[in-house]
């Protein structure tokens, strides 16, 4: 909403500035004579249609500012996957710039009174603008073919929505353009089209600016949610704990696999099941590569989490996941190695308490080297991206 | 006291504003159906808005019947009840008040009061009305589709608004959203006209600071609406896409009726931000025209200049600006950063300053005035009462800590009905009684008007004062039936029954008003050109009702502000805006400074 507010502040500032120029501070009950000036009534010296266009552009600006605000707000959602912007958009941008240039050229011709040039210029503008629209449709087609469907991701939905609304605005402009072209081909004088040409020029430039802003927004929105690269960290080199089948495990047992280590406990109300579910989803998506990934849950509550309970719990997410357990001292040692904080919270009685603990996940590559730390709440996509990338690399 | 001397050279030759070319309709259809005359369009807007408003009134009766006498009516089930609540709110706020104030009064008064022949874009103005009518028809159509209209509440919060189980979750909500989209398109067309006409088409001598406050109010409200409605437009489009094409703009991952839906990750809070970014300015879109009109009514009928004209204008501008930074006070219970809550509580309380300033100025305009208790004046005074009461409870609700427990109780219902329903409706009535003679050429009946006023004024108090108390007791809003609870005493039900009876009476007596409108149109006492002895330009037209083009051959020239009432030494107790300064020194031209 900040963007919208900034735009509104700009619009309001213009209004207030203009009002003060309009002597908003005179005392009307004293100032009796008509105020001298261009019109005597303080109207703008522009023709009304131009003022009307200006007001409409303010409305359209509000519309696009709100959409961009919504875009950034929605981007904070964890399911946002930026789409790869089709290359053809660069071509389209070029076409729209050419359209704007042609319109400007038409305006100059109109001011000099050259009817023939006006017509040529208008037709050039139309050609470029229609080409732009066709290009936008082509971009849609490409995206659709690449599997970026409208409903499959909010980034796609916004892409289609923003381009569609911009395209509709351009179509509205082309309607006026069509009427003007019809007029020129009926051979009317320059006076009859001059104002329309001026209005169209303003509108085309405006739509170009809006498109450039939208395009920049669509391009700039790379991954805003990433894991933290901790490749050269000198902690968490290994752990030695018993797995839920009673086997002593260390990280070297999983050489050749990408390993995700997280700390948690079976009574965990929110963080642990959510993260495990995301990891389970990621592993499932991998298909045949699933064998090359190992998820390890280190319990921070060895008192309640027996091997049996741990096995039941972890296997529910994926039978291949392993729960690791040590004595309280061993657990504390591992936690210390991993710079993980764990603290027993208050509870109603000895069997009913919570354990606060660091909620992120460590990812090791196939050679057993610590590579990534994934904060809690970034969403399953981050796991999929990171694990996929490490698998590709190794 | 200061004295301003004038000589001939100060006078401006009349009609130097460029004459606009008017479309001259010849047939009946061209004059009254596909009309491009703002006055006819205004009446079209007015009749449509009042017509759909009557539907909303009946819906409120049905709601009140259920609340007052739970489970006594077999034709009201919980789904119906929610549909009544939703449509009542939506119609009253948008399709009645917004359309009537801006489309109705805006169209009628702007050209006449600024001294223009018509709106600057008459054709667009005509299309605006027909798009509005189409939006209304879509809304009405939702009553007749399978599942009925939407029952999501007038705020249409997702995810609930488009989920199975909410009444009208299929066709009803789609029709609602599409109707809103069309309303906004239609409004934008009209709004462009109102703004550009005020900016560009003022007659010679009509500076901004000589505009009547009615025009200031409508102008600022239109600016707000033009900038705020896009937020509703965007959210309506996004929600339609969520509903029809399965996008997830607003819809989070959700299990509905035991089924995991295909949505995921969407943000319902984002909808609330967008909605209230429109929704709060909407309050002022309705309030500012009311503020402006009531200022003029008070001044005319108290025969006294408006107190603090400049302050009134500045207050309108300040309210307009501030209204964009208070929206989240509607979302205190939606969960937000406490610092945001603090920020929005602060801005909300700050907006009370210019508002209170206006209230003081109205009261001071009455002070020592030559008060004529005409029907418009009664309604104007009624407005001051209702607005003060509604405004004061607004201070409670503006504070986070007080708002949270009161939120979603009847207290909120009472608050916003006082401030946003009763107060503006008082002005609507006052304005209709005031301008009806100009619109039709006949006066409305005075006795019927006074009956209408007293029943409406006392009746609405009988409805909403006890409702505050119900809110304090904790009676929740939007509930079909409360049933037996520990914290709500039995007596609350008697109070509810009483409120319902009052609502039925007030509603029924609106027939008196409608009857008065129709009867007076044919049989009313013929009105003179300026029955209230008012100064503004619409009363100075050569014909009543004004012909197409408003001012006959030449446009008026404005020499003074709109509030020259009871000027010491003047011949009459009012001096029209277009009356040139007289050369009789020391009489009409003596001014308070």
Question: How far does A57 lie from chain B, in Å, by closest CA?
Answer: 11
A contact residues 221-250, partner B, Cβ 8 Å cutoff: none
Q: Does B592 touch chain A (CB under 8 A)?
A: yes
Q: Does A19 touch chain B (CB under 8 A)?
A: yes
Whether the pLDDT of residue B534 is over 80: the answer is yes
Position with higher pLDDT, B467 vs A392: B467
Tokens of A326: 């040590």
Residue of B nearest to A56 (CA): B192
Contact A383, A282 (CB under 8 A): yes
- Collapsing DSSP to helix, strand or coil, A244 comes out as coil
Q: Would you say the C-alpha torsion B43, B49, B54, B55 has a positive or negative sign?
A: positive
Question: How far does A235 lie from chain B, in Å, by closest CA?
Answer: 35
B contact residues 298-357, partner A, Cβ 8 Å cutoff: 305, 309-310, 313-314, 317, 321, 324-325
pLDDT tens digits, one per residue of A306-337? 888 989 998 888 888 999 988 888 888 888 88
pLDDT tens digits, one per residue of B115-146? 999 999 999 999 999 999 999 999 999 999 99
- Residues with Cβ within 8 Å of B250's Cβ and at least 6 positions away in sequence, in order, are B158, B159, B235, B238, B239, B242, B266, B267, B268, B270, B271
pLDDT tens digits, one per residue of A120-171? 999 999 999 999 999 999 999 998 888 888 888 888 899 999 999 999 999 9
pLDDT of residue A190: 81
Residue B591: which of A15, A29, A52 has the nearest Cβ?
A29
pLDDT of residue B318: 92
A44 and B17: CB-CB below 8 Å? no
pLDDT interval class at A1 (50, 70, 90): low
Whether the pLDDT of residue B540 is over 90: the answer is yes
- Specify the range with the lowest mean pLDDT, choosing from A6-15, B223-232, B416-425, B532-541: A6-15
Q: In chain B, which residues have their Cβ closer than 8 Å to the Cβ of A26?
A: 207, 209
A29 and B592: CB-CB below 8 Å? yes
Cα–Cα distance measured from residue B103 to residue B91, given in angstroms and rounded to the nearest whole number: 15
* Residue listed under structure tokens 């939703």: B86
* Residue listed under structure tokens 């210029």: A121
* Residue listed under structure tokens 């280590």: A261
B121 and A48: CB-CB below 8 Å? yes
Mean pLDDT of A29-39: 52
Q: In chain B, which residues have their Cβ closer than 8 Å to the Cβ of A34?
A: 10, 12, 204-205, 207, 557-559
Position with higher pLDDT, A343 vs A40: A343
Whether the pLDDT of residue A356 is over 90: the answer is no
Question: How far does B235 lie from chain A, in Å, by closest CA?
Answer: 9
**Counting Cβ atoms within 10 Å, is residue A200 exposed (0-12), middle (13-18) or buried (19+)?**
buried
Residue A52: which of B192, B266, B325 has the nearest Cβ?
B192
Residue of A nearest to B2 (CA): A30
- Residues with Cβ within 8 Å of A357's Cβ and at least 6 positions away in sequence, in order, are A263, A264, A265, A300, A340, A341, A342, A343
Whether the pLDDT of residue B3 is over 70: the answer is no
A26 and B207: CB-CB below 8 Å? yes
Whether the pLDDT of residue B585 is over 90: the answer is no
Mean pLDDT of B565-571: 88
Mean pLDDT of A348-376: 83
pLDDT interval class at A33 (50, 70, 90): low
A41 and B207: CB-CB below 8 Å? yes
pLDDT interval class at B541 (50, 70, 90): very high
Cα–Cα distance measured from residue A209 to residue B106, given in angstroms and rounded to the nearest whole number: 33
Task: Beginning with the edge strand found earlier in the chain, give each strand of the sheet holding A370-374 in spatial order.
Answer: A228-229, A370-374, A361-364, A258-264, A293-299, A322-325, A240-243, A248-250
pLDDT of residue B224: 94
pLDDT of residue B18: 54
Q: Does B19 touch chain A (CB under 8 A)?
A: no
Report which DSSP code applies to B22: P
B262 and A151: CB-CB below 8 Å? yes
- Specify the range with the lowest mean pLDDT, choosing from B129-133, B330-334, B389-393, B527-531: B330-334
Q: Does A274 touch chain B (CB under 8 A)?
A: no
Question: How far does A4 lie from chain B, in Å, by closest CA?
Answer: 10
What's the mean per-residue pLDDT of chain B? 90
Q: In chain A, which residues have their Cβ closer than 8 Å to the Cβ of B223?
A: 15
Contact B378, B294 (CB under 8 A): no
Cα–Cα distance measured from residue A158 to residue A85, given in angstroms and rounded to the nearest whole number: 12
B324 and A8: CB-CB below 8 Å? yes
What's the mean per-residue pLDDT of chain A? 85
B contact residues 150-189, partner A, Cβ 8 Å cutoff: 188
Helix axes B107-114, B423-440, angle to 10 degrees: 60
Contact A370, A233 (CB under 8 A): yes
Contact B149, B168 (CB under 8 A): yes
Helix axes A48-75, A190-220, angle to 10 degrees: 10
Residue B265: which of A27, A55, A154 has the nearest Cβ?
A154
Q: Does A81 touch chain B (CB under 8 A)?
A: no
Whether the pLDDT of residue B590 is over 50: the answer is no
* Portion of chain B with pLDDT greater than 90, in percent: 68
Whether the pLDDT of residue A217 is over 50: the answer is yes
A1 and B591: CB-CB below 8 Å? no
Q: Does B227 touch chain A (CB under 8 A)?
A: yes
Question: How far does A66 lie from chain B, in Å, by closest CA?
Answer: 6
- Collapsing DSSP to helix, strand or coil, B17 comes out as coil
Mean pLDDT of B235-262: 89
Determine how many CB atoms are found less than 10 A away from the CB of residue B314. 16
pLDDT of residue A25: 64
Q: Does A161 touch chain B (CB under 8 A)?
A: yes
DSSP B509-530: HHHHHHHHHHHHHHHSPBP-S-
B226 and A157: CB-CB below 8 Å? no
Whether the pLDDT of residue A287 is over 50: the answer is yes
A43 and B313: CB-CB below 8 Å? no
Phi/psi for A241 (5° steps) reads -140, 165
pLDDT tens digits, one per residue of B4-33? 434 433 444 443 445 566 767 777 777 788
Q: What is the CA radius of gyration of chain B?
A: 25
Question: How far does A6 lie from chain B, in Å, by closest CA?
Answer: 11
- Selected for mutation to probe chain B from A8, A29, A81, A381 (highest B CB count within 10 Å) is A29
For A221-260, give one letter per residue: b (16+ CB within 10 A) or e.
beeebebeeeeeeeebeebebbbbeeeebebeebeebbbb
B contact residues 485-514, partner A, Cβ 8 Å cutoff: none
Cα–Cα distance measured from residue B218 to residue B212, given in angstroms and rounded to the nearest whole number: 10
Whether the pLDDT of residue B292 is over 90: the answer is yes
Q: In chain B, which residues have their Cβ closer than 8 Å to the Cβ of A27?
A: 310, 593
Determine how many CB atoms are found less than 10 A away from the CB of residue B576. 20
pLDDT interval class at A246 (50, 70, 90): confident
Residue A22: which of B12, B195, B208 has the nearest Cβ?
B208
Cα–Cα distance measured from residue B169 to residue B152, given in angstroms and rounded to the nearest whole number: 8
pLDDT interval class at B401 (50, 70, 90): confident
Cα–Cα distance measured from residue B473 to residue A320, given in angstroms and rounded to the nearest whole number: 57
Residue B205: which of A40, A62, A154 has the nearest Cβ?
A40
pLDDT of residue B13: 42
Question: How far does B54 lie from chain A, in Å, by closest CA?
Answer: 32
A56 and B201: CB-CB below 8 Å? no
Whether the pLDDT of residue A373 is over 90: the answer is no
- Selected for mutation to probe chain B from A3, A5, A23, A28 (highest B CB count within 10 Å) is A28
Residue A74: which of B206, B210, B267 has the nearest Cβ?
B267
B277 and A151: CB-CB below 8 Å? no
ipTM, two decimals:
0.90
A55 and B196: CB-CB below 8 Å? yes
B208 and A11: CB-CB below 8 Å? no
Tokens of A131: 């080409």
A161 and B207: CB-CB below 8 Å? no
DSSP A23-87: TTTS-TTT--SPPPSSSSS---SS-HHHHHHHHHHHHHHHHHHHHHHHHHHHHTSTT--PPPPPT
pLDDT of residue A221: 62
Cα–Cα distance measured from residue A30 to residue A45, given in angstroms and rounded to the nearest whole number: 26
Question: How far does A149 lie from chain B, in Å, by closest CA?
Answer: 9
CB pairs A-B closer than 8 Å: 182
Q: Does A220 touch chain B (CB under 8 A)?
A: no
Question: How far does A201 lie from chain B, in Å, by closest CA?
Answer: 20
* Portion of chain B with pLDDT greater than 70, in percent: 94
pLDDT of residue B253: 82
Q: Does A13 touch chain B (CB under 8 A)?
A: no
Contact B265, B248 (CB under 8 A): yes
Mean pLDDT of B76-95: 94
Q: Are strands A293-299 and A258-264 parallel, antiparallel or unpaired?
A: parallel
Tokens of B363: 């009261």
């Amino acid at each position: 909403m900040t963007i919208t507010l900034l735009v509104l502040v700009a619009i309001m500032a213009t209004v207030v500035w203009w009002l003060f120029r309009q002597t908003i501070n005179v005392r009307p009950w004293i100032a009796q004579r008509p105020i001298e000036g261009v019109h005597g009534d303080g109207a703008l010296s522009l023709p009304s249609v131009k003022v009307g266009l200006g007001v409409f552009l303010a409305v359209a600006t509000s519309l696009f500012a709100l959409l961009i605000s919504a875009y950034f707000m929605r981007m904070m959602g964890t399911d946002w996957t930026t789409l790869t912007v089709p290359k053809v958009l660069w071509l389209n941008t070029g076409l729209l710039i050419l359209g704007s240039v042609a319109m400007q050229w038409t305006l100059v011709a109109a001011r000099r009174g050259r009817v023939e040039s006006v017509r040529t210029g208008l037709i050039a503008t139309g050609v470029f603008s229609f080409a732009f629209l066709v290009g936008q449709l082509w971009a849609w087609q490409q995206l659709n073919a690449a599997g970026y469907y409208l409903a499959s991701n909010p980034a796609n939905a916004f892409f289609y929505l923003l381009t569609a609304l911009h395209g509709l605005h351009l179509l509205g402009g082309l309607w006026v353009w069509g009427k003007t072209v019809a007029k020129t081909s009926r051979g009317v004088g320059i006076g009859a089209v001059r104002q329309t040409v001026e209005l169209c020029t303003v509108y085309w430039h405006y739509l170009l600016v809006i498109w450039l802003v939208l395009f920049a927004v669509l391009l700039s929105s790379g991954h805003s949610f990433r894991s933290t690269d901790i490749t050269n960290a000198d902690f968490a080199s290994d752990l030695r704990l018993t797995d839920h089948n009673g086997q002593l495990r260390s990280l070297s047992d999983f050489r050749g696999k990408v390993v995700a280590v997280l700390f948690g406990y079976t009574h965990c109300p929110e963080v642990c099941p959510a993260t495990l579910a995301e990891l389970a989803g990621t592993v499932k998506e991998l298909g045949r590569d699933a064998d090359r990934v190992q998820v390890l849950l280190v319990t921070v509550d060895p008192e309640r989490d027996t091997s049996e309970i741990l096995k039941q719990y972890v296997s529910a997410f994926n039978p291949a996941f392993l729960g690791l357990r040590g004595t309280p001292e061993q657990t504390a040692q591992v936690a210390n190695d991993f710079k993980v904080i764990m603290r027993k919270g208050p509870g109603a009685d000895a069997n009913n308490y919570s354990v606060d603990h660091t909620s992120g996940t460590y990812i090791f590559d196939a050679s057993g080297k610590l590579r990534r730390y994934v904060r809690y709440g970034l969403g399953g996509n981050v796991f999929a991206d990171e694990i996929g990338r490490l698998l590709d690399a190794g | 006291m200061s004295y301003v001397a004038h000589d001939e050279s100060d006078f401006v030759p009349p009609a130097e504003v460029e004459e606009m070319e008017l479309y001259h309709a010849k047939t009946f259809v061209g004059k009254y159906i596909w009309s491009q005359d703002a006055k006819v369009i205004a009446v079209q807007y007015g009749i449509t808005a009042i017509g759909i408003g009557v539907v909303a009134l009946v819906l409120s009766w049905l709601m009140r019947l259920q609340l007052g006498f739970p489970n006594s009516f077999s034709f009201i089930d919980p789904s119906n009840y929610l549909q009544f609540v939703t449509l009542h709110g939506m119609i009253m706020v948008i399709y009645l008040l917004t359309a009537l104030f801006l489309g109705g009064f805006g169209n009628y008064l702007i050209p006449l009061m600024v001294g223009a022949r018509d709106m600057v874009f008459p054709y667009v103005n005509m299309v605006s009305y027909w798009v509005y009518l189409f939006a209304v028809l879509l809304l009405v159509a939702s009553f007749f589709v399978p599942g009925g209209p939407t029952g999501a509440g007038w705020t249409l919060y997702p995810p609930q608004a488009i989920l199975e189980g909410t009444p009208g979750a299929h066709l009803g909500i789609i029709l609602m959203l599409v109707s809103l989209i069309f309303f906004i398109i239609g409004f934008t067309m009209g709004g462009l006209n109102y703004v550009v006409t005020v900016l560009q088409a003022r007659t010679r001598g009509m500076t901004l600071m000589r505009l009547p406050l009615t025009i200031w109010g409508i102008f600022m409200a239109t600016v707000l609406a033009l900038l705020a409605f896009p937020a509703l437009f965007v959210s309506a489009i996004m929600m339609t896409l969520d509903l029809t094409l399965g996008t997830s703009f607003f819809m989070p991952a959700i299990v509905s009726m035991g089924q995991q839906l295909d949505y995921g990750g969407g943000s319902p809070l984002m909808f609330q931000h967008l909605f209230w970014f429109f929704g709060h300015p909407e309050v002022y879109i309705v309030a500012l025209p009311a503020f402006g009109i009531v200022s003029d009514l008070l001044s005319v009928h108290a025969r006294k200049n408006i107190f603090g004209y400049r302050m009134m204008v500045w207050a309108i501008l300040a309210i307009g600006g501030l209204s964009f930074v208070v929206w989240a006070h509607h979302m205190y219970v939606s969960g937000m950063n406490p610092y945001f809550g603090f920020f929005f509580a602060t801005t909300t309380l700050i907006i009370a300053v210019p508002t209170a300033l206006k209230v003081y100025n109205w009261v001071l305009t009455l002070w020592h005035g030559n008060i004529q208790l005409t029907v418009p004046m009664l309604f104007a005074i009624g407005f001051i009462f209702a607005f003060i009461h509604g405004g004061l409870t607004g201070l409670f609700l503006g504070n986070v800590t007080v708002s949270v427990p009161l939120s979603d109780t009847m207290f909120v219902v009472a608050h916003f009905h006082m401030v946003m329903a009763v107060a503006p409706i008082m002005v609507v009535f006052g304005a209709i009684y005031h301008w009806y003679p100009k619109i039709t050429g006949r006066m409305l009946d005075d006795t019927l008007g006074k009956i209408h006023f007293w029943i409406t004024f006392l009746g609405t108090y009988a409805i909403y004062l006890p409702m505050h108390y119900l809110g304090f007791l904790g009676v929740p809003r939007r509930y079909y039936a409360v049933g037996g609870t520990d914290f709500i005493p039995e007596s609350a039900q008697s109070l509810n029954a009483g409120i319902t009876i009052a609502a039925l009476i007030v509603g029924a007596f609106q027939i008196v008003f409608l009857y008065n409108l129709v009867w007076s149109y044919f049989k009313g006492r013929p009105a003179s050109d300026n029955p209230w002895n008012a100064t503004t330009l619409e009363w100075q037209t050569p014909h009543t009702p004004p012909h197409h083009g408003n001012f006959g051959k030449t446009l008026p020239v404005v020499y003074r502000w709109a509030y020259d009432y009871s000027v010491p030494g003047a011949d009459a107790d009012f001096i029209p805006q277009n009356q040139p300064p007289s050369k009789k020194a020391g009489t009409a031209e003596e001014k308070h400074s």
